[in-house]
Amino acid sequence: MCSPNTTSGRTIVITDLSNRQFLERYACAGRIGLSGGFTLVDKAICRAERHLHEQKQWGSWSHAFLFQGSRQDGHQWLIESDLQVHHKHIQLGVQENRISKYFNEEMYSTLAVLDFGLTGIQVSTLLSEALELVANRAKYSLRELLGTLIALKHPELRGRNNVLARERSLYCSAFVQHLFRKTGLDLAPGVDGKNTTPEDIACTCVPHARYVLQREAPAGKLQALRKRIRRRVRARIRIIKRKSARAQ
């Protein structure tokens, strides 16, 4: 069951729940999810987000998504724009996944849920637009992500169109920003939708309650995890290069 938004404008830090317990308690339709982890991609995004802070500290968040709510199968689902590589199969773009994807505490060491206290109409608008993007197979744009990294280094570009923008493409936080602007809520005023980072969403001034699950990685497992991640990333890059070569 979802906790009601009775703490708008506050951050509630939680340390004594598992990822599963945390998400099952706070994930509801129309709320935003944020995640951070230890993969090379996570660290690269958080490092790039240091340009958003005066003290140049790294960002805390590398991925953003939208909770869809419970469905007939008894599970809670979310909608996100992501890159996933499975055996002989790549999901690259806006997709639906069960929240159980984020139960892995080694991969997703930090989670947050943002509750904006939306009306039923606003939630319906979010989900309708998100499902439209799923049906139309909107892609996850690595190219636009690179354009955002360029804009982070050159702040005068943040409010302009992403320099590497593509049609029918949205990476994770740009996808969430796009959806919320459809409801009349701008999570990052003055920033182009396709230059929006997960850290922008986490720092939004739009009134909301923020539930944050924080956990330190077990020290003995961290090094082994990083080695596994490096191997997986290299394997994914090889697969993507081969598929790109075939497409050409």
In a domain, residue 1? The reply is: no
In a domain, residue 69? The reply is: yes
Closest CA to 79 of 9, 180, 151, 161: 180
In a domain, residue 2? The reply is: no
pLDDT of residue 238: 73
In a domain, residue 200? The reply is: yes
In a domain, residue 224? The reply is: yes
pLDDT of residue 83: 82
pLDDT of residue 40: 84
Q: What are phi and psi of 209, to 5 degrees?
A: -100, 135
Closest CA to 165 of 184, 201, 141: 141
Task: Place 141 in a pLDDT band, splitting at 50, 70 and 90.
Answer: confident
% of the chain surpassing 70 pLDDT: 82
In a domain, residue 248? The reply is: no
- Please give the span between the terminal C-alpha atoms of the chain, in angstroms, as a whole number: 49
Q: How far apart are CA 55 and CA 57, in angstroms?
A: 6
In a domain, residue 3? The reply is: no
pLDDT digits (tens, 9 = 90+) for 172-223: 999 999 999 999 999 999 999 999 999 999 999 999 999 999 876 555 555 5
In a domain, residue 56? The reply is: yes
pLDDT higher than threshold 80 for residue 239: no
What domain count does the chain have? 1
Structural domain boundaries, residue 166: 11-242
**What CATH number is associated with residue 172?**
3.90.1720.10
